[in-house]
Structure 1
């Protein structure tokens, strides 16, 4: 892995860490009754979609490296595409 590959993956992982922090914060806000459950659920749903997109981007990058391709050609796919994948 080159320095630029590590930097790009580090940025993606940093974004994932930030969203996980936001999830925890939302749960704390609900517990402290700062927000209601419907607000928490709506925000969590948006975060979940963005997390899925980031994880998908990391998988794309790793697949490109394994195939001898440039990982920088991977791109953040639309939520509609990522959310339609089967587990």
Structure 2
């Protein structure tokens, strides 16, 4: 289990939202560095893609937690879904 998955299991809604905000800021910074030519393009594109997936997974986890709470279930039982599953929602 990755550090990201482990952290997500022990998080509150506020923790997850704060992590999303941090990742979105990192995404903006990386996009700015790419646009200005300050970042090595191939690696930066890989980093950006990985960050986008983590953001999508985090939003999915937050939605799961909120739905569980709304329907009287334990939000701590929500789990980070695999990237392939979360990314397939766009299709």
State the TM bucket, normalised to the shorter chain: 0.7 to 0.9
- SS for the counterpart of 1:22 is helix
Question: Structure 1 runs of 4+ off > 3 angstroms?
Answer: none
Higher relative contact order (CA 8 A, sep 6+): 2
Pick from 18, 38, 41: which aligns with 1:37? 41
Question: What do you get for the CA RMSD once the two structures are aligned?
Answer: 1.7
TM-score (norm 1): 0.81
The alignment of Structure 1 onto Structure 2 pairs a total of residues equal to 81
Q: Which has the larger radius of gyration?
A: 1
For structure 2, the residue ranges without an aligned partner over 5 or more in a row are 1-10
- Give the gaps of 5 or more residues in structure 1: 1-6
Q: CA deviation at 1:81?
A: 1.3
